[in-house]
Amino acid sequence: MSATEFQELLTAESDFLKPFAIHLTRDPVFAQDLYQETLYRALANSDKYRTGSNLKAWLYTIMKNIFINDFRKKRKHPVMFDTAALTTDRLMRPGSNTGEMNLRLKEIQQLVYDLPEIFRKPFLLYFQGFKYEEIARMLHEPLGTIKSRIHFARKILKSRMKYFERIWDNASAS
C-alpha cells in the first residue's frame, strides 16, 4: 500500500477515534491532543500496518498505548507546580481581578527565590524539566542529596504557601 493510499484510508476511517479519546481522557482538549498524536504515530508507522488487517483495531491499540504511557509518565513524575492550575483554580475566585492574581503570582515566585540557595538551585532546575541525574551532574552532588534537597524545597514551599493561602483567604473575606 502506498503512503498516499494509507493517508486516504486513515483520513476516511479515523473519525471513530474522537469519542474514544474523549472517553479515555474525559477532557476535550487532551482528547484532541491524543487524537492528533495517534494519527501522527499511525502515519509515522504506516509501514507496520498490514494491508487487509483491521485498521480500527490497530488505531485503537495505538491510542490506548499512548494514553497508558502518558498516564504512567505523569504518575512517575507528577506535575509539582502547575501554574495554569494555580492561576485558574486557586487564584481566580469570584471577585478577584488580574491585578490581584499577578500580585499573588509574584508572591509565589518570591517564595521560590527566598528558598535557601542549597534548595533553590536544584528545585529550579527540576522545575525547568531536568531529571534528577542531570541535576546531580550539573551541581556535582550525589543523586540522593539532590533528591532530598528537592524534597525539602517542596516541603518548605508547601508550608509557606499554606500560610499565604490563609492570609489571602482572610483578606478576600474582609
Residues of the chain with pLDDT under 70: 76-104, 163-174
pLDDT confidence of residue 164: 64
Domain ranges, ordered by start, for the chain: 3-76, 83-173
pLDDT at 31 (0 to 100): 86
Task: Give φ, ψ of 156 to 5 degrees.
Answer: -60, -50
- The Cα 121–Cα 104 span in angstroms is 22
pLDDT, position 172: 59
Chain centroid to Cα 107, Å, comes to 23
- pLDDT in the model for residue 6: 82
Region 83-173: CATH code: 1.10.10.10
Strands (E), 80-119: none
In CATH, what is the architecture of 3-76? Orthogonal Bundle (1.10)
pLDDT of 147 reads 93
pLDDT given for residue 137 in this prediction: 92
Instruction: Output the pTM of the full model.
Output: 0.44
**Count, residues in the chain:** 174
10: Cα separation from own chain's centroid: 28
